Chain A
């Protein structure tokens, strides 16, 4: 069983269903549009800010504000890529064709992650440049220190969010259950845990809280986060690894 055959097959699968197009389009549109809106609002607010807020003003990070919502579409993409196999019964056909379950799962994840990374990078660059355009005189330049890292990191972050979702969906199988857990977690719970003082110390190790550090260019003054941008992305990477290993172990063990 040549892995290239399986990768080619998974590419055919992913490009031949409508959900791929609409979830990924939604990622780009929502992230960029919301980023532009918030950038425009921030520009107007800048004049009324105090000195500390101005010193912490991070135009790059502000242009990525749409990701909090856009990542939800990325989650839907990741979940559907995997759980569609189960909800449609395709999994039995797929595993009869590719009985090496590791090859099957990781080829699927490789193809979907590659696509998510591509779309993530496009989104990230578009959100940055269009967001900066909205910020006018307060904008950052792509050549400024740390900015290119943040923009590339935004694409990586999106890809990792998709991969984490794929791992969770591989474990849970049901699309409704996976979305029912992931959407509120990333939209609400993680944000609350990461920002409330009592839980902050633990909350900042959650995948999105740690991973989004890569998109920050200006570090807040009283920031005591014990990891840097790449360290944060690394923590997110570990979460992704854990989810994927969990998905693989369960897929191997289970009856299809």
Chain B
């Protein structure tokens, strides 16, 4: 279990992580989602005790990271970039980590086997492809057979076969009762692996919810309407208390509206429709809207002068803050 409480990291004026509180629970894959630069890696580095928080606290199974005896046996992490000496062989890299945490030498061979690097174990890692590098990083994470695993953007640079492999691995680790915490900037990736979702934008917590709930709430349904008599249609909808939003090319979108109801209204007022179709927004779009809101939210509270695009922002406001 990983617990964050009011975790904050400031670099001078810039707030990288802002008052984050959430808990990562065992037995499931928890996705840590946010656009690039949202503060995911910084948060993960603070969990590992690499970066010092400006304020707040983070605990691993109730302890601060430096209090863990042989920490690799509690929590294993794959960090974002290559984090090893390229002149060292894969075997020696893992060996020095194993020795520092009292992990037996035989375990090095085991994890090399698990990630499929046995054949290149005695090769210097500077010749490794990005995918092999990711596998070595994962081997290092698995080395101490830890109860908690943390992966920072694990599918980066992997080929489809590798991506499939890591998804299966993460799910099986969680199924063994371990805590699995995975960051990504791709909603589609998370939708396939994560059961729980923590979303951050600009260092701020935007959502901490189960994946099922997130999908329920965010698979926004709306009706797409096109009409040559757009102005009249807008008037009619307005009179009926229906809010329509223009989305370019003369298309109107009606959030949560019923296609039948709109069709009947149009018929009553003899308005020609060229299109009337119920739509379901993708999760990727939902995620983008969610994180776009965090930008907008900052623009209001901070000094930034970027003007928000008004009508769209209303959507999702309620559940975000409430």
Give me the interface of A with B, judged by CB distance under 8 Å: 1-2, 5-6, 8-10, 12-13, 16-19, 84-85, 88-100, 253, 255-256
Contacts and interface: CB of A to CB of B under 8 A. Distances in A.
A85 B50 CA distance: 14
Secondary structure dominating the interface of A? helix
Contact of A90 (B45, B77, B83, B89): B83
Given A12-B96, A97-B71, A19 B87 contact: yes
B52 A96 contact: no
B72 interface: yes
Contacts, number: 91
Interface of B is mostly: loop
A95 to B, nearest CB: 6
Given A12-B99, A16-B96, A1 B85 contact: no
A255 B101 contact: no
B89 A16 contact: yes
Contacts of B50: 92, 95-96, 255-256
B27 to A, nearest CB: 23
Contacts of B65: 99
Nearest to B52: A255
Interface residues of B, number: 33
Contact of A100 (B48, B66, B72): B66
Nearest to A17: B87
Contact of A93 (B86, B87, B95, B97): B97
18 contacts: A10-B96, A13-B88, A13-B92, A16-B95, A16-B96, A17-B85, A18-B87, A88-B83, A88-B84, A90-B83, A90-B84, A90-B85, A91-B83, A93-B140, A96-B79, A97-B101, A99-B68, A256-B51
Contacts of B88: 13, 16-17
Interface of B: 45, 48-52, 65-66, 68-72, 77, 79, 81-89, 92, 95-97, 99-102, 140
Closest 7 CB pairs of A and B: A9-B100, A16-B92, A255-B51, A99-B66, A9-B99, A12-B96, A256-B50
Contact of B83 (A19, A93, A100): A93
A9 B45 contact: no
Contacts of B87: 17-19
Contact of B79 (A5, A13, A17, A92): A92
B69 A1 contact: yes
Contacts of A98: 100
Q: Which of B68, B92, B96 has the most CB of A within 10 A?
A: B96
B138 to A, nearest CB: 13
B2 to A, nearest CB: 14
A253 B18 CA distance: 21
Contacts of B79: 89, 92-93, 96
Contacts of B48: 92, 95-96, 99
A77 B102 CA distance: 28
A90 to B, nearest CB: 5
A9 B97 contact: yes
A99 B81 CA distance: 19
B97 A97 contact: yes
A90 B93 CA distance: 10
A91 to B, nearest CB: 8
B99 A8 contact: yes
A17 B93 CA distance: 10
B203 to A, nearest CB: 15
A85 B87 CA distance: 12
